[in-house]
Structure 1
Amino acid sequence: MSQSHQRAKAGLYFSAARGGEEGLPAEMKEAAAALLADLPPGTDLRIGRRLTGYDPLPHEVLMADSPAPFDYVFEASGAGDAAAEPLQVAIAGMARVLGDRIDRQTAAVFAGTEIAITAGDGPVFVVMPLRRVPSLSHDDFMDQWFGRHAALGEKVEGVRYRQNHVDATATADLAGRVGLSFPPMDGLTESYFDALDGALALLSREDVAVGAIEDEKRFIHHPTSQFALYETLWRS
């Protein structure tokens, strides 16, 4: 995989605490714009909010009893290893600004590397935090996910697919800065779309709804993973 397909990545994934929803998107946008001023040129910040009101996708039916998906995401990415620390500072900064408006019992963070398996972006996107089948080590999981499953993803027509590979030490350090405790992720998958209709159509196709899911069961523990669709509210 070439360096051009890799970027440092950090993220904050959360739902609002009870009573903390009002005005939250506007506050996040204001905070993100302020944080961007201190970040290196070329940093990409994105705020997303979970989409609802559509018929459940096959992944969502399968994962109906999995942990509830996050309602909001704040992600930062940038080129080069030197970008990693500033991105994590930005994530911690957003968490600090939002304070007790975040439901800290369910929130999570990510720090690691974003790898574009296929090219493309879009304002609607999937976020799927992954946890491995208990019988596998993390290295076994990575062999299955990146070493084999990624090639299957490349073959899905029209897919814009990224894998986010976790840096466990950096993620734990970031969680400590933010004051969070959560079951460790083994990775985080994202796919991007131009509109909700296109996302629903692709994610319901047999090669995804049946083929991809059956392969995922070999290494992803769906009962402890999460899945949701998001709309971009703000992007730098």
Structure 2
Amino acid sequence: MFKSSVAVTIGGAVLASFLQQAWWIRGLEGAALGFTTFVTFPMIYTWAKRTADPVHLTIGCSPAVMPTKLPPDGFTVVMLYPGGGGSMLGYGEPGEATGWAPNSMAYRCEVRNLSGKPLPAIAITLPIKYRNGDGSEIEPAKQFGKIRIVAQRLDAASDKPFVFFVFNPGGYGATVEKIEADYHEPDPSNPIIEIKSNLLHPIEFGSAATRMLDPASEFVK
């Protein structure tokens, strides 16, 4: 009974204080409350909708060789280099020579869409840690980097992945332990992206990766 009386007393005091304020102050407070409600509720609804049915992707990479003949859909190559790096697209007539020497060692990566529906352009980002070819640390300004490519469309069928290659043209060591993915053009109405499987084995260039990147290794067969 005492607690109820205290609550009623406090509530009455707050109400009395509000009524005693100038009309324009009460108006501003009411407008602020209305604006907060107007902004907050739609944000909560949008967040709940995005997280209720997330898009699931898997990302995997394995040692491979660069294609010497152009695949039907062309191909994307991520070029690793400390302090720089970038990407390039290979396109033209399917089957024509790509210009890559036989047994040019690389990694072949696949991004698969498990959502069962086509997805708009997806930005794929590779965070890279570089080192010297002998394994020693490289200068701090070149130690870390990020390279971003775009999958213009992810097919609804998981057996039709977006494929790209990762190539290291220099003698530097490089490691990629995970790959990030998000929408190329952010849209609050799109469901969030969850990566269910991300690089079971890291991308590794340098002395530690010599056996895996040997053309005779079982990893590239």
TM-score by length of 1: 0.23
Where relative contact order (Cα < 8 A, 6+ residues apart) is larger, the structure is: 1
TM-score by length of 2: 0.25
**Structure with the higher fraction of residues in strand conformation:** 2
From the CA coordinates, give the structure whose radius of gyration is larger: 2
**Structure with the higher fraction of residues in helix conformation:** 1
